[in-house]
Amino acid sequence: MLSYRHGFHAGNHADVLKHVLWLQLLRQMTQKDKPLWVLDTHAGAGAYALDSRFAARNREYADGIGRLWARTDLPELLRDYVAQVRAGNPDGGLRIYPGSPQIALQVLRPQDRLRLWELHSTEQQALAEHFAAAGRRVQVNRGDGYAGLKSALPPPSRRGLVLLDPSYETRDDYAAVVAAITDGLQRFATGTYAVWYPQLQRRESERLPETLTRLAGNDWLHVTLQVRAPQDDGFGLHGSGMFVFNPPWKLDVALRAVLPVLARALALDESAGFTLQARQT
């Protein structure tokens, strides 16, 4: 029985890292005229009300997007990110936080396509309603996004960006991500795949980057953002990471300009910091 609802965590520090990188991937990959297909295996609800009972319970967004919302001194990529969030808040208040598919739709061009999967029935219904007016550019699928990739790859345009962003509610998701990437690279070796993962005091979380690095060969990027020290009881999210297969050229340069700012802005204690590794041939 699926119980995870992303609304509890919408706009937190992990979302900020994920969506800053996601936005830069979209910006760089829409610079070529050829159509881009964007596939999101765990699309969630599309957007989240920050005054809902989910988001309001712990107010995680306050230490995420909330710390950037009113700043006027941000570097370009972070200004762009905040602008994408503002697009869903025309009255100027921070009430709605866009999910990865909504950010993608705001950036994609008429020739591009967005393919979404969500397994949680309530989230999938909200996702379908959210994109009901988007037309043929957006396809919402109820079901397992891992399985959905097998029928969707390679995309007709042979240009694709895939986001794998499961909840990691169970340990099975770690193995499922590795299996999906392995199969995806066999079907579509030149695709760009972005994997988000939580930094937890769990063996699977700690080993995942090493496993992905072995799969990636010589063309990858790995970034982490830690906002606090791990808790003594071993519970809780102290940071998150993104691993990108076949990243666009100079993605690392764009991220190096903003990661120090993010680490300072979102720090919860003196242990906050970031890492960035990249290898491209």
User: Which carries the bigger pLDDT value, residue 67 or residue 202?
Assistant: 67
Residue 1 scores a pLDDT above 90: no
- Give the chain's domain count: 1
Q: Please confirm, yes or no, whether 80 is among the known catalytic residues.
A: no
Q: Which amino acid is present at 206?
A: E
Range of the domain at 258: 6-279
The CATH code of the domain that includes 31 is 3.40.50.150
DSSP string of the chain, one letter each residue: -----GGGTTTSHHHHHHHHHHHHHHHHHTSSSS--EEEESS-TTSEEETTSHHHHHH-GGGGTGGGTTT-S---HHHHHHHHHHHTT-TTSS--EEE-HHHHHHHH--TT-EEEEEE-SHHHHHHHHHHTTTSGGGEEEEES-HHHHHHHH-S-TTS-EEEEE-----STHHHHHHHHHHHHHHHH-TT-EEEEEEEE-SSHHHHHHHHHHHHHHTT-EEEEEEE-SPPPTTS-S--EEEEEEESPPTTHHHHHHTTHHHHHHHH-SSTT-EEEEEEE--
- Asked if residues 141 and 18 have their Cβ atoms less than 8 Å apart, the reply is no
The rounded distance, in Å, linking the Cα atoms of 225 and 234 is 18
User: Which carries the bigger pLDDT value, residue 280 or residue 158?
Assistant: 158
**pTM of the full structure:** 0.95
Residue 104 within any structural domain of the chain = yes
Which pLDDT tens digit goes with each residue over 238-251?
Answer: 999 999 999 999 99
Which pLDDT tens digit goes with each residue over 17-73?
Answer: 999 999 999 999 999 999 999 999 999 999 999 988 766 677 999 999 999 999 999
- Asked if residues 61 and 10 have their Cβ atoms less than 8 Å apart, the reply is yes
Residue 1 within any structural domain of the chain = no
Residue 188 within any structural domain of the chain = yes
Residue 112 scores a pLDDT above 50: yes
Which pLDDT tens digit goes with each residue over 209-268?
Answer: 999 999 998 999 999 999 999 987 767 899 999 999 999 999 999 999 999 999 999 999
Which residue of the set 15, 40, 63, 165 is catalytic? 165
Which pLDDT tens digit goes with each residue over 117-161?
Answer: 999 999 999 999 999 999 999 999 999 999 999 999 999 999 999
The rounded distance, in Å, linking the Cα atoms of 45 and 236 is 23
For residues 94-119, average pLDDT:
97
- Asked if residues 225 and 240 have their Cβ atoms less than 8 Å apart, the reply is yes
pLDDT of residue 169: 86
Which pLDDT tens digit goes with each residue over 149-196?
Answer: 999 999 999 999 999 999 998 889 999 999 999 999 999 999 999 999
The residues pairing with 161 across neighbouring beta strands, listed in sequence order, are 38, 192
Grade residue 3 by pLDDT with cuts at 50, 70 and 90. very low
Residue 85 scores a pLDDT above 50: yes
Grade residue 8 by pLDDT with cuts at 50, 70 and 90. confident
The angle formed by the CA atoms of residues 185, 189 and 195, to the nearest 5 degrees, is 50
Q: Which two tokens stand for residue 68?
A: 């950037």
